[in-house]
Amino acid sequence: MAFSGSSVLVPPVYDIAWSGLLLLSVLLPVVVVIGERRTGSTWPATLVWALLALVAPLVGFVVWLVWSAAIRPELRTRRDA
């Protein structure tokens, strides 16, 4: 029995959206680890930030971005140089 495209219960757009969310939840902790290691952070601090970004991907990543910008302003690029 062949299924036509109109009998599919879940639209293909949902597959793309869920795949994108999965990819995002994997890539954000990787970005956090790379960012922390480039700034010379210790491994325990890097692990804590990566776990936060892994447990709560979007919230953890945003908190890390705000924390990095507020606590370490020397990381920002200087446009006046």
Q: Is 8 helix (H, G, I), strand (E, B) or coil?
A: coil
CA 37/CA 76 separation, integer angstroms: 16
In Å, what is the CA distance from 68 to each residue of 51, 61, 65, 74?
16, 10, 5, 10
CA separation, residue 24 to residues 37, 65, 75 (Å): 20, 16, 24
The answer to whether the pTM exceeds 0.85 is no
pLDDT digits (tens, 9 = 90+) for 39-60: 888 999 999 999 999 999 889 9
Per residue in 4-22, pLDDT tens? 556 567 788 998 999 999 9
Q: Are 46 and 17 in contact (CB under 8 A)?
A: no
